[in-house]
Amino acid sequence: MFFSRAQEVALASLVHLDRRGPAGAGRGVRDLAAAAGVPAPFLSKVLGRLVDRGLLRSRRGRKGGFVLGRPAAEITLADVVLALERKGDLEAAFRAPEGAAAPLFARLRGDFLETLRATRLADVPPPAPPD
């Protein structure tokens, strides 16, 4: 796919957090991992990186856990991808294709990057509750 494993895990887990941001209820890493269907140790590392970059906050205590660093309406998918990317911008993170099909793929890449910039975490439908 287009995303790194860390980016996929982050996107899969962030949709399970309270969309109100810092005022919302926290969720523990094990709970988030189970909800997102990802390994808790790896998710813990990914969430730590998101805390370091300000997209998440970590709270201690009985009502602790992870919360969004700001409301979901203020976080784009591009913010999440770039928080886990070593390169400074989306264009560098998703290289332009080369070869005969380059014009077609360049247009698709442009649409993809624009979608990442325009889509807010709040735009992503919340996961359906388990049966």
The single-letter DSSP state of residue 125 is P
Q: What is the pLDDT of residues 58-112, one digit of tens each?
A: 988 777 799 999 999 999 999 999 999 877 788 877 777 788 888 888 888 889 9
Q: Which helix (H) or strand (E) holds 74?
A: none
Using the predicted structure, report yes or no on whether residue 1 has a pLDDT greater than 60: no
CA 34, CA 24: separation in Å to the nearest integer? 19
Q: What is the pLDDT of residues 25-69, one digit of tens each?
A: 999 999 999 988 899 999 999 999 999 999 999 988 777 799 999
pLDDT value of residue 62 = 75
Task: Report whether 1 contacts 81 (CB < 8 A).
Answer: no
pLDDT value of residue 131 = 59
Residues linked to residue 21 through DSSP beta bridges, in sequence order: none
Q: How confident is the model at residue 130 (pLDDT cuts 50, 70, 90)?
A: low
Domains of the chain, CATH where assigned: 5-123 (1.10.10.10)
CA 53, CA 68: separation in Å to the nearest integer? 11
Q: Per-residue b/e over 4-38, b at no fewer than 16 CB within 10 Å?
A: eebbbbbbbbbbbbbbebeebebbebeebbebbeb
CA 31, CA 67: separation in Å to the nearest integer? 13
Q: Collapsing DSSP states into helix, strand and coil, what is residue 130? A: coil
Q: For tokens 């998101």, what's the residue? A: 50
pLDDT value of residue 48 = 95
The model scores a pTM over 0.75? yes
Mean pLDDT over all residues of the chain? Answer: 89
CA 10, CA 13: separation in Å to the nearest integer? 5
**Residue (of 69, 95, 98) closest to 10 by Cα position:** 69
pLDDT value of residue 57 = 95
Q: How confident is the model at residue 2 (pLDDT cuts 50, 70, 90)?
A: confident
Task: Report whether 7 contacts 54 (CB < 8 A).
Answer: no
